[in-house]
Chains A and B, each alone.
Chain A
Amino acid sequence: MSAATHGAGGLHPLLELEASVSLDRAAGSGGALEATVTGPDPHEFLAAALDWHFSPATGSPLWLDLARGLDFDPRRDVRSWADLARFPDIAGALRDRPVEDLLPRGLQGGPVPSVFETGGTTGAPKRLLYTPGWVERVLRWKVAELRAAGFPEGGGWLVAMPSGPHAYGHTARLQARELGSVLFTVDLDPRWVRKAIAAGSDPRGYVGHLVQQVRHVVTSQRVRALTTTPPILAELLLDDEVAQRLAEVEYVALAGAHLDQDTYELLTEALPTAVVQNIYGSTMVLTTARLRDPAAPPADAVYDGYPPFVSFSVVDPQTGEPVAAGERGQVRMAHVSSGVFIPNNLERDSAVRVPGLRPEISDALAQPAPLASFEGEQVVQGVY
C-alpha cells in the first residue's frame, strides 16, 4: 500500500479501517466472516470510503470524471448504504476505459493490481482491478470457508473453470497452494460457448472437448475435489467410468451457471460421498458470496456478502425499491474498498431477499436464478 496522506501525514481513514478488519480473528467455521461482521462502524467506513474515492488526491480518474455528472455530492449527500443506489451503474465505463483510469490515485505507486474480466454474459466484458491486498483478503476468507466445508486438504483438486482473463482460475491456484493440494486444470472459455449458442450453433462439440479433458485427468489421477459448472458435471456423469471415479470425490463446487434443486439432488445421488456446494458470486464485486451453511442445498442456501466490503440488496426491477423480506427481486451488488468502488451494480439474476447479518449494510440472498433478459441484451447461459 502506498502511504496515501491524510491530514497530518497519517494513513487515510479508509486504509486504517480496512486494516482494522483483522483476519487473524478468523476462528474456525465462519470466522472469516465474523471478522467483517464485527468490523468497523458502517457509517464511519462509508464516509471514509466516499472521501477516498471522491477526493482529487485519492480518487480514481474514472470516479472523479463521473462525479462531475452527478446531481449530488457523494461526500456530503450519501449517508447510508441504501443511498449507494443514487449512483449510476458504471458497468459501461468498465468496458472501455483504460485500466489506468480505474486505479485510485491513493494507490498509485503501490503494488501492481491484477486485471480480471467478467464473462461477457451481458455484452462486452467489464474489467476490474484486484489489488494484492484484496486478493489476499479474499484468499483468507475462502480458505477458511473451504476448510469449514470439509475440503480434503492435500488431496488432488480438479478445477475446470474459466482462467485467462477470468479471476476464477487465478484464485483457485492460490487456494490450492494454501490448502496443500495439487491443482489440475481444464481451460474453459465461456465467451466462445455463448457466442456459439447465440449464433444458433450447437455447443455440444465444445462441451465434449471439455469433458474429454476432464475425463483424462479423472481417470489417471487421484482427484478428491472438483470445481466446475453444472452442465459440465452433468455431462461427466453420463460417462460410466468417469461417474465411477467421481463417486469417490469428497468435495464438489459448482459455479458459473444456475443449479436448480432437482439437478442438485440428482448430483448428490451420483456423488454420495461429496459435499456439493452451489457457488454464487460476481466478478463485479470481486468475489463469490459466502454460503451461510456450507453444505446447504440450493433450495435452502443463504448467501451473505462480506460487509462492509461486499453488500447485496434485492430490488424491484421496475422501481429500484427494495422488495420485502421473503420476496423475489433483482439482485443489486455493491463493492466498497480502497481499490474499487462499485456502488450500484444490477446483476443478471433475481433472488429471494433474506435478512443479512449486518442488515444496515447488506441483505442476504436465497435461490438466485437468471433473469430472462438484462440491459436489453438476451442473457445466454452456456456452460458457464
Chain B
Amino acid sequence: MIVVHATRPRQQVVDLPLLTTRGERSTHEVEVVTGPDGALLARLSLAPPLLVAQTLRQQERAVRPGPVRDPDRFARAAELFADDVLGGLSPAEHVHLVGEASGHGPAVTRRLTEAVVRQVAEAPARVDRGRPHGAVPDARAGSAAPERASGVWVRRGRTLGAVLSGNSPAAHNGWLQALALGYAVTVRPSRREPFTASRLVHALRAAGFGPDEVTYLPTSQAVAAEVLRRADLGLTYGGADVAAAYAGDPSVLVGGPGRSKTLVREGYRSPAVVTAVADAVADSSGSACVNTTGLLVEDPGTGATASFAAALRHELAQRHDTALAAGDHLGPRVTAETARAWAAGVERLGGPPRALEPHPDGGYVVAPVVLEVEPGSDALGTELPFPFVALAPWTEGEGVAPLRDSLVVTAYTAPDDPLLDALLDEPSVRNVHHAVPTTHSDGFVPHEDYLGRFLMSSKAFVTAGGQQ
C-alpha cells in the first residue's frame, strides 16, 4: 500500500543515472524531463549504443541454465518499491514526480503506482498462466521416475530488452514476467516518465537481483532500436509504424495500439452502464490502450445514440469538475503546446473548438470529449491520450464488423447473446469483456495473448530416470 505523506515535494532537480551491470553511471548526454508547466524535473542520463551492446553481452554471459524459483525476491522488491527511499527518492517524492512527468493526476498516479507494486509481486504467478498444460517448469523435478516423458517450458533466449512507452507508469508487466522466468533484462524507459522504471530496478536490486540480471538504460530514440537488436528478445510499444517495422521479426513483440471499443445493446442503457462506460473512457486519464475509444450504441433510429451521448457527456463533465474541485484532474495535465495539438486533433475529427483550461498546479487540463460520428467513421478507431470517445449508432445487422481491430471489446448485453461468441471467434478482437469495462484487468488474464507464449517454448524431455 502506497502511503503518501504530506511532505512538500522536492524542489531540486533529480539526476537519474544509468543502472548498468557495473553499477550507476552518469553520462554527458542527458535528456531533461519536464513537467506540464515546463519546470525541470530531472536530468536523465542516456546510454550510448556501445554501452547497450556491452551491457547485453555481459548479461547474456551471466544467465544460468535451469528454471528460476525465487518468488520471494519479487515479494521483497514489491515491498521496497512501495515503502522505501530508493535512488534518493521517498515514495511520496516518487509519486509526485511521476504525476508531473506523465500528466496523470494524484489519484490516478497513486492507483497506477499501486498497480506496479502488484505487477512486481505477482510476476512469477502471472507468467505461469501462459504455461501449456503439457509442460512442466522444471525438467528435473520428479525425473527419478522411470521412463518419464514431459514437455518442459524453457526460455527462447537469455536476454530481453524492453523499450517502454510513457503513456502509463504501469506498463511493466512484460519485462517483469521475463525476469521471473530467468531472463536477464535491460529496461529502456520512456524518456517522458523515466522515474517508475528507475525505482523498479533500484527495488529489484535492493531485493537481491544482481546487476547482471536487470539494468536500466535510458537512451535516445535512435539508440532504442539498438536495445531490441542486441537482446535475444525485445518488447516494445507503438503504433502501426512500429508494428510494421518489426512485423517480420519474431524476436520482437510490439504492443500495438488499443482502439478498444464498447457496445451497448438495446435494454442496457442504464445509469450504471453510463457510469461504467465513463470509467472505460476516463480511467488512467484516458491514455491507456484499454481505454474505450469507439462506442457503439444499438439504435434502431430511436435517438438512443444521442441520448446516451448526452448522459455520458454529463457524467464525464461532472467528474472533470469534481476532480478539479478536489485539487485533482480527470484528463491529463500537459503543456499548452500539447493541449493545443490535441484540440486540433479533435477539430480535425469534426469536434468543436476548445479553450485551454489552465490548472492551478501548472499546465493545462484536457477536458473529456464525447464525439458523435457516423457509422464507419475513422474516429471510432482514433486513439487520443485523454478522455476521448467517438460514438456511433449500431444495428444488429452490422454484427461484429464495426468492432474489429480492437484490443478489448466490451459488450453490454445478455449473457447468452451469440454476439459474444462471434467476438470471441473474431481474430482481430484480442480480448472480450461482458458487461465489464474495457479498462478492467487483474493482471492474470492475457493482454495480447499470454506473455509466456512469446518468452518461452516447450521442449520434450524424456529420461530413463534412475535406470541406467
Give min CB distance, A260 to chain B, whole Å. 6
Closest-by-CB residue of A relative to B46 is A262
A8 CB–B CB distance under 8 Å: no
Closest to A233 in B: B50
- Interface segment among B33-41, B51-59, B124-132, B427-435: the answer is B51-59
Residue A238 CB within 8 A of the other chain: yes
**Contact status B50-A267, CB under 8 Å:** yes
CB-CB under 8 A from B50, the residues of chain A are 234, 237, 263, 266-267
- Asked if residues A234 and B57 are in contact (CB atoms below 8 Å), the reply is no
Q: Is B29 an interface residue (CB 8 A)?
A: yes
- Cβ of A260 and Cβ of B28 under 8 Å apart? yes
Residue pair A238, B57 in contact (C-beta under 8 Å): yes
Q: How far is the CB of B163 from chain A (nearest CB, A)?
A: 18
Cβ-defined partner of B54 (8 Å) among A260, A261, A266:
A266
Please state if A262 and B51 are interface contacts (CB–CB under 8 Å): yes
The reply to whether A238 and B28 form a contact with Cβ atoms under 8 Å apart is: no
The chain A residue with its CB closest to the CB of B45 is A262
Kindly count the residue-residue contacts between A and B in the assembled complex, taking CB atoms under 8 Å apart. 31
**A263: B residues at CB distance < 8 A:** 48-51
The verdict on A266 contacting B51 (CB below 8 Å), with A260-B29, A261-B28, A299-B28 known, is: yes
- Would you call B307 an interface residue if the criterion is a C-beta within 8 Å of the partner chain's C-beta atoms? no
Q: How large is the interface on B (under 10, 10 to 19, 20 to 34, 35 or more residues)?
A: 10 to 19
A260-B28, A299-B28 known; A238-B51 Cβ under 8 A = no
A68 to B93, CA, bound (A): 70
Q: Mark A226-245, 1 if CB is under 8 A from B, else 0.
A: 00000000110110000000
Contact yes or no, A262 B53, CB < 8 A: no
Cβ contacts under 8 Å, A234 to chain B = 49-50, 53
Shortest distance in angstroms between B2's beta carbon and chain A's nearest beta carbon?
A: 35
Pick the residue among A235, A237, A238, A262 that contacts B27 (CB under 8 A). Answer: A262
* B residues less than 8 Å from A262 (CB atoms): 27-29, 46-48, 51
Most B CB atoms within 10 A — which of A234, A260, A262?
Answer: A262
A234 to B47, CA, bound (A): 14
Contact, CB under 8 Å: A237 / B54: yes
- Specify the chain A residue showing the minimal Cβ separation from B245: A200
**A266 in contact with B28 (CB, 8 Å):** no
Q: Which of B48, B50, B53, B54 has the most CB of A within 10 A?
A: B50
- Nearest CB in chain A: distance from B343 CB, A: 29
Bound CA span A260–B28, Å: 9
The smallest beta-carbon distance between A20 and chain B, in angstroms, is 43
Quick one: CB contact mask for A258-288 with B, threshold 8 Å, 1 for yes? 0011110011000000000000000000000
Within B108-123, the residues touching A (CB, 8 Å) are none
Residues of B6-56 whose CB lies within 8 A of A: 27-29, 46-51, 53-54
Would you give the shortest CB distance from A64 to chain B, in whole angstroms?
46
For window 78-100 of A, CB contacts with B under 8 Å fall at none
Residues of B within 8 A of A260 (CB): 28-29, 48
What is the predominant secondary structure among interface residues of chain A facing chain B? helix
Contact residues on A (Cβ < 8 Å of other chain), bracket? 10 to 19
* B-contact bits for A327-365, CB 8 A (1 contact / 0 none): 000000000000000000000000000000000000000
Please indicate the chain A residues that have their CB under 8 angstroms from the CB of B27 in the complex: 262
A120 to B29, CA, bound (A): 29
Nearest A residue to B230 by beta-carbon distance? A238
Q: List B residues 42-99 near A (Cβ within 8 Å).
A: 46-51, 53-54, 57
Asked whether, in the complex, the Cβ of B53 is within 8 Å of the Cβ of A238, the reply is: yes
A198 to chain B, nearest CB (A): 15
Q: What CA separation (Å) do A261 and B27 show in the bound complex? A: 8
Contact mask A201-216 → B, CB, 8 Å, 1/0? 0000000000000000
Would A266 and B48 count as touching, CB distance under 8 A? yes
Q: How far does the alpha carbon of A267 sit from the alpha carbon of B49 in the complex, in Å?
A: 12
Q: Which residues of B contact A235 (CB under 8 A)?
A: 53
| Distance in angstroms between the alpha carbons of A263 and B48 in the assembled complex | 6
In the complex, A260→B220 CA distance in Å?
Answer: 13
Q: How far is the CA of A263 from the CA of B54 in the complex (A)?
A: 11
Q: How far is the CB of B441 from chain A (nearest CB, A)?
A: 37
* Bound CA span A377–B46, Å: 28
Q: How far is the CA of A237 from the CA of B48 in the complex (A)?
A: 14
Cα A299 to Cα B29 with chains together (Å)? 11
> Taking CB as reference atom, which chain B residue is nearest A299?
B28
Provide the bound-state CA to CA distance between A45 and B54, in Å.
Answer: 51
- CA A237 – CA B57 in complex, angstroms? 11
Q: How far is the CA of A235 from the CA of B51 in the complex (A)?
A: 11
Distance in angstroms between the alpha carbons of A235 and B230 in the assembled complex: 11
| B22 CB → nearest A CB, Å | 9
Look across to chain A and name the residue whose beta carbon is closest to the beta carbon of B18: A262
CB distance from A215 to the nearest CB of B (A): 16
Tell me which residues across on chain A come within 8 A of B28, comparing CB atoms: 260-262, 299
A238 CA to B60 CA, complexed, in Å: 12
Give Cα A267–Cα B51 distance, bound, in whole angstroms. Answer: 10
Contact residues in B for A261 (Cβ distance below 8 Å): 28-29
CB distance from A266 to the nearest CB of B (A): 5
Point out the residues of chain B lying under 8 angstroms from A238, CB to CB. Answer: 53-54, 57
Residues of A within 8 A of B46 (CB): 262
Cα–Cα distance between A267 and B54 once the two chains are bound (Å)? 11
B47 proximity list for chain A (CB < 8 A): 262
Chain A residues positioned under 8 Å from B54 (CB to CB): 237-238, 266
CB distance from B246 to the nearest CB of A (A): 13
Which of the listed residues B27, B28, B53 has the most CB atoms from chain A within 10 Å of its own CB? B28
Contacts of A267 in B (CB 8 A): 50
CB distance from B453 to the nearest CB of A (A): 27
- Give the docked Cα–Cα distance between A266 and B53 (Å): 11
CA gap between A266 and B57 in the complex, in Å: 15
Chain A residues, CB < 8 A from B53: 234-235, 238
Q: What are the residues of chain A within 8 A of B57 when measuring CB–CB?
A: 238
Which A residues are in CB contact (< 8 Å) with B49?
234, 263
Rounded to whole Å, the gap between the CB of B21 and the closest CB of chain A is: 13
Query: B316: shortest Cβ distance to chain A, in Å?
Result: 42
**B367-411 Cβ-contact flags toward A at 8 Å (1 or 0):** 000000000000000000000000000000000000000000000
A residues 104-134 touching B (CB-CB < 8 Å): none
A207 to chain B, nearest CB (A): 12
**A352 to B: closest C-beta gap in Å:** 14
Residues of B within 8 A of A237 (CB): 50, 54
CA–CA, A24 and B27, complex, Å: 44
* Docked complex Cα distance between A278 and B364 (Å): 46
What are the 9 tightest A-B residue pairs by CB atom distance, in nearest-first order?
A234-B50, A261-B28, A263-B48, A262-B48, A262-B27, A266-B50, A263-B50, A238-B57, A262-B28
**In the complex, given contacts A235-B53, A263-B49, what are 12 additional A-B residue pairs having Cβ atoms less than 8 angstroms apart?**
A237-B50, A237-B54, A238-B53, A238-B54, A238-B57, A261-B28, A262-B29, A262-B51, A266-B48, A266-B50, A266-B51, A299-B28
* 26 A-B contacts (beta carbon < 8 Å): A234-B49, A234-B50, A234-B53, A235-B53, A237-B50, A238-B53, A238-B54, A238-B57, A260-B28, A260-B29, A260-B48, A261-B28, A262-B27, A262-B28, A262-B46, A262-B48, A262-B51, A263-B48, A263-B49, A263-B50, A263-B51, A266-B50, A266-B51, A266-B54, A267-B50, A299-B28
Hey, which bits of chain B sit against chain A, CB under 8 A? Answer: 27-29, 46-51, 53-54, 57
